[in-house]
């Protein structure tokens, strides 16, 4: 009986790992509502009828996240012409997002998940106070077409555009 509590704790930890995987390919993207950098609420289901890049990133103004965001900015005309909404999501506050957006002239929406509820829903909640870098490519019907689990910030934007154009993740 003295080993009951440590074993129960291990079982609970393992059970939570199994449920933290997030949605799978072909599933409906879990719906959510979050504020953007300007405090305006965005609901994912409001984007039905257009394709969506939902990308989770670690923190505003860090080297890798800045590289990723600047590449998305530089390719943004391609996203617009392809009808793809770009939604970046981190745990940073709307005020932090404003500073990040303004510093780098980011033309897309940055969502604030300070409660980390959406990260838990998508299986992107990290051990540190930041999300796991991961992207979900969602079709017009709200179905997840592709998940990029190992995001390379140097090729991410081009990889996403290529997938939406060709249906292939290869560059």
Catalytic annotation, residues: 65
Provide the phi-psi class of 169: left if phi over 0, else alpha when psi is between -120 and 50, else beta: alpha
Closest CA to 73 of 171, 163, 156: 156
The first and second tokens of residue 38, run together, are 């300007």
CA–CA separation, 168 and 75 (whole Å): 18
Q: In whole angstroms, what is the distance from residue 123 CA to residue 88 CA?
A: 16
Q: How many residues does the chain have?
A: 171
Which residues are registered as beta bridge partners of 43?
33
Q: What are phi and psi of 10, to 5 degrees?
A: -65, -40
């Amino acid at each position: 009986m003295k080993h009951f509590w440590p074993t129960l704790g291990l079982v609970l930890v393992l059970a939570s790992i199994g449920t933290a995987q997030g949605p799978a390919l072909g599933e409906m993207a879990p719906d959510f509502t979050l504020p953007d950098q300007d405090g305006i609420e965005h609901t994912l289901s409001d984007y039905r009828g257009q394709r969506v890049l939902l990308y989770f990133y670690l923190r505003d103004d860090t080297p890798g996240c800045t590289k990723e965001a600047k590449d998305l900015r530089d390719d943004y005309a391609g996203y617009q012409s392809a009808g793809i909404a770009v939604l970046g999501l981190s745990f940073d506050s709307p005020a932090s997002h404003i500073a990040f957006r303004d510093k780098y002239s980011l033309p897309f929406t940055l969502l604030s998940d300070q409660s980390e509820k959406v990260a838990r829903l998508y299986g992107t909640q990290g051990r540190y106070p930041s999300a796991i870098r991961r992207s979900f490519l969602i079709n017009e019907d709200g179905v997840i077409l592709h998940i990029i689990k190992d995001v390379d910030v140097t090729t991410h934007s081009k990889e996403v555009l290529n997938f939406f154009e060709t249906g292939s993740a290869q560059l």
